[in-house]
């Protein structure tokens, strides 16, 4: 939600994170980009469990044209109960059929830990699968981590605003302007629906905008 407010509801590829409730087949989808914007990570929350698929094209195990679609062992073991929800998702391949996954983790609803395939990572290679670059916001989903990622952005959210959004405080006009004083409440309406974030209906009804905040 912080990213939606920062970009006034516009989703165009520059934002670090996005979330789509009811993305497909009863699943929710979160999208996270690496801090430099090169890599991308998808988190699917399905009725059967969660799946994380990340791709960093700089990772040594990234597949290229003419090579295997995926590194051996990378996606082997993903439970069918989870896989059936995402088998046709676009994040598995690019337009040329090359695999676009270098990190794959899963966790069924009955599991007490995350699992991964038996992938042989090159020895002596830093971040061979891109996980370090891709999973910061997953491993440490805190306001502080988010603020570190966005500290170079003009008009970044205040620490208090980030804490309130991470705590799922209902979105009000006052909270919106703490993140982006130029954000339009009307512009945020589609994002609120897509994300499913709680909001104060009276504050976000049509016709109100940031200029009315007192």
β-partners of residue 49 are 46, 108
- Averaged pLDDT for residues 159-180: 89
How many independent structural domains does the chain possess?
A: 1
Band of residue 201 on the pLDDT scale cut at 50, 70, 90: low
4 within a domain of the structure (yes/no): no
Band of residue 203 on the pLDDT scale cut at 50, 70, 90: low
203 within a domain of the structure (yes/no): no
24 within a domain of the structure (yes/no): yes
Q: Which domain holds residue 111?
A: 17-120
202 within a domain of the structure (yes/no): no
DSSP state, residue 121: P
DSSP state, residue 39: -
Minimum mean pLDDT range among 7-16, 22-31, 149-158, 161-170: 7-16
27 within a domain of the structure (yes/no): yes
58 within a domain of the structure (yes/no): yes
> In whole numbers, what is the pLDDT of the chain averaged over residues?
83
Q: Are 178 and 6 in contact (CB under 8 A)?
A: no
Contacts of 20 (CB under 8 A, 6+ apart): 28, 29, 30, 31, 194, 195
Global pTM reads: 0.83
7 within a domain of the structure (yes/no): no
42 within a domain of the structure (yes/no): yes
Query: Where does residue 162 rank: exposed (0-12), middle (13-18), buried (19+ CB within 10 A)?
Result: buried
Minimum mean pLDDT range among 46-60, 93-107, 177-191, 195-209: 195-209
């Amino acid at each position: 939600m912080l990213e939606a407010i920062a970009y006034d509801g516009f989703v165009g590829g520059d934002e670090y994170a996005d979330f789509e409730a009811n993305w497909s087949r009863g699943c929710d989808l979160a999208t996270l980009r690496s801090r430099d914007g090169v890599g991308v990570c998808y988190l699917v929350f399905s009725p059967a469990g969660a799946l994380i698929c990340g791709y960093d094209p700089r990772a040594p195990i990234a597949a290229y044209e003419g090579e295997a679609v995926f590194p051996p062992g990378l996606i082997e073991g993903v439970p069918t109960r989870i896989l059936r929800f995402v088998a046709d998702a676009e994040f598995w391949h690019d337009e040329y059929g090359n695999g676009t996954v270098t990190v794959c983790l899963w966790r069924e609803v009955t599991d007490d830990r995350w699992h991964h395939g038996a992938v042989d990572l090159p020895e002596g290679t830093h971040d061979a699968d891109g996980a370090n670059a891709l999973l910061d916001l997953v491993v440490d989903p805190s306001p502080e981590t988010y603020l570190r990622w966005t500290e170079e952005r003009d008009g970044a959210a205040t620490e208090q605003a980030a804490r309130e959004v991470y705590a799922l405080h209902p979105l009000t006009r006052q909270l919106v302007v703490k993140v982006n004083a130029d954000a339009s409440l009307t512009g945020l309406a589609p994002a609120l629906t897509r994300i499913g974030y709680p909001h104060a209906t009276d504050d976000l009804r049509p016709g109100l905008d940031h200029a009315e905040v007192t």
